């Protein structure tokens, strides 16, 4: 018996007799409100526990011999598809013309509606030599070839007529697809450089008349992961009565995203700065949109993690226990307040 009595003395939750308990309407209201608050907080804590968070880590990039996928989706509202070309060059000057590269173009009318589609197996310029340095040298070589040829062939004349008709009708072009380039610094650009320079001169009557306005719907260097932000998505650069060259300087950061399921998604994120160079009267170059990219030597690893169950239980006890204690205090205060208000009224009635 002594042991049992000792255990009873340690009871922190003594029970009162049923007839000693008094139930009130205010107590019922406070109890219902407290239960609603506790249920709401429980749901909030459960969602907080089930929601993952990310941890960022950095390390040296050790990847070698892999390709860099470049996803592009860009609209040129003032240039027909016939005049646009895509060129990708790495830092050694070598063209990246990959047979696996898939580029498509969509012909758009003046309202932006699709009026035709075409696979651009010949969009990446194949007429360049592998030893040229930049587009200026390319056009100087073309100038010499044109002077030697001295005349247009029928295909060039048909192209001029077709493009002029498309420009008069307000045709545009949407270029999209994937470029697979070597994992080294380089650039790719979309321009009218694929045209014979004399043909381009006959079509536009000068480089200042090439409207290189563009809308970047999507530009990414790999698959997307939760929370990624590609800074060029949704970029609009519309020119009026002027022309020039846009250059986007891109710093590509290799990234690994590790899901909570241990699945690893290799991709890249990037930062960008922008520069616009307006065309001058005697410029021999032609407007273009350049994307010059370089790779960071640092890899960012993003890990999804979930909070521990012990952490969840600790927060849940603190929240529910605090709410229970607070509602108990509120019930006592309300009971004493009502008792203090009703007692003087009862005494006055007896008198």
Please say whether the beta carbons of 295 and 56 come within 8 A. Answer: no
Provide the pLDDT for residue 136. Answer: 45
325 and 247 in a common domain: no
DSSP states of 48-115 as a string? HHHS-EEEEEEEE----S-EEEEEEEEEETTS-GGG-EEEEEETTS-B---TT-EEEEEEE-TTS-EE
Provide the pLDDT for residue 301. Answer: 94
- Rounded to whole angstroms, how far apart are CA atoms 267 and 259? 13
Instruction: With respect to residue 9, please indicate whether it lies within any of the assigned structural domains.
Output: no
70 and 98 in a common domain: yes
* CB burial string 174-190: b at 16+ within 10 A, e below: bbbbebebbbeebbbbb
Please say whether the beta carbons of 70 and 333 come within 8 A. Answer: no
Please say whether the beta carbons of 190 and 288 come within 8 A. Answer: yes
In 3D space, the residue among 256, 98, 247 whose CA is nearest the CA of residue 182 turns out to be 98
243 and 163 in a common domain: yes
205 and 95 in a common domain: yes
Structural domains of the chain, count = 2
Residues forming beta bridges with residue 175, ordered by sequence position: 74, 105
301 and 270 in a common domain: yes
295 and 226 in a common domain: yes
- Rounded to whole angstroms, how far apart are CA atoms 240 and 315? 59
Provide the pLDDT for residue 158. Answer: 82
286 and 319 in a common domain: no
What is the CATH classification number for the domain harbouring 177? 2.60.470
267 and 316 in a common domain: no
Tens of pLDDT, residue by residue, the chain (351 residues): 577 777 767 666 666 666 556 667 777 787 888 888 888 889 998 988 888 889 999 999 888 778 889 999 999 999 988 888 888 888 867 665 433 468 888 989 888 888 877 655 444 444 443 334 444 455 455 454 544 454 457 777 888 888 888 888 889 999 999 988 888 899 998 988 777 788 888 888 888 888 899 999 999 999 999 989 999 999 999 998 888 999 999 999 999 999 988 899 999 999 999 999 998 877 778 899 999 999 999 999 999 998 888 988 998 888 888 888 888 888 788 778 777 777 765 555 444
176 and 44 in a common domain: no
| Domain that residue 34 falls in | 29-52+306-340
Evaluate the CA torsion angle 193, 121, 75, 295 in order and state its sign: negative
Cβ atoms within 10 Å, residue 214? 23
Provide the pLDDT for residue 233. Answer: 94
62 and 47 in a common domain: no
Instruction: With respect to residue 311, please indicate whether it lies within any of the assigned structural domains.
Output: yes
Instruction: With respect to residue 18, please indicate whether it lies within any of the assigned structural domains.
Output: no
Instruction: With respect to residue 282, please indicate whether it lies within any of the assigned structural domains.
Output: yes
DSSP states of 200-250 as a string? HHHHHSSGGG----EEEEEEESS---TT---TTTTEEE--SS--EEEEEEE
324 and 219 in a common domain: no
329 and 190 in a common domain: no
């Amino acid at each position: 018996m002594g042991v049992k009595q000792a255990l009873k003395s340690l009871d922190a939750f003594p029970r009162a007799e049923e007839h000693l308990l008094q139930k009130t309407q205010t107590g019922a209201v406070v109890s219902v409100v407290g239960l609603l608050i506790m249920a709401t907080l429980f749901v909030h804590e459960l969602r907080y526990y089930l929601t993952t968070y990310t941890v960022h880590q950095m390390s040296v990039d050790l990847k070698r011999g892999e390709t860099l996928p470049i996803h592009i989706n860009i609209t040129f509202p003032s240039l027909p598809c016939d005049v646009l070309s895509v060129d990708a060059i790495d830092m050694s000057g070598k063209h990246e013309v990959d047979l696996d590269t898939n580029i498509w173009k969509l012909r758009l009318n003046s309202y932006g509606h699709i009026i035709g589609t075409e696979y651009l197996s010949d969009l990446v310029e194949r007429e360049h030599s592998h030893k040229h340095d930049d587009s200026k040298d390319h056009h100087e070589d073309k100038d010499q070839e044109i002077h030697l040829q001295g005349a247009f062939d029928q295909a060039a004349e048909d192209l001029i007529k077709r493009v002029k008709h498309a420009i008069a009708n307000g045709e545009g072009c949407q270029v999209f697809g994937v470029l697979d380039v070597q994992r080294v610094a380089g650039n790719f650009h979309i321009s009218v450089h694929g045209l014979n320079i004399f043909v381009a001169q006959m079509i536009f009557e000068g480089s200042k008349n090439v409207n290189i306005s563009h809308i970047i719907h999507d530009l990414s260097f790999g698959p997307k992961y939760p929370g990624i932000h590609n800074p060029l998505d949704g970029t609009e650069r519309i020119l009026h009565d002027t022309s020039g060259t846009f250059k986007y300087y891109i710093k590509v950061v290799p990234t690994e995203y590790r899901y909570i399921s241990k699945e690893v998604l290799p991709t890249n994120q990037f930062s960008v700065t922008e520069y616009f160079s307006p065309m001058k009267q005697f410029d021999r170059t032609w407007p273009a949109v350049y994307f010059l990219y370089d790779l960071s030597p640092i890899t960012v690893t993003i890990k999804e993690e979930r909070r521990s169950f012990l952490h969840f239980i600790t927060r849940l006890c603190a929240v529910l226990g605090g709410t229970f204690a607070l509602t108990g205090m509120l019930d006592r205060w309300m009971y004493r307040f009502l008792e203090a208000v009703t007692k003087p009224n009862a005494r006055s009635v007896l008198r």
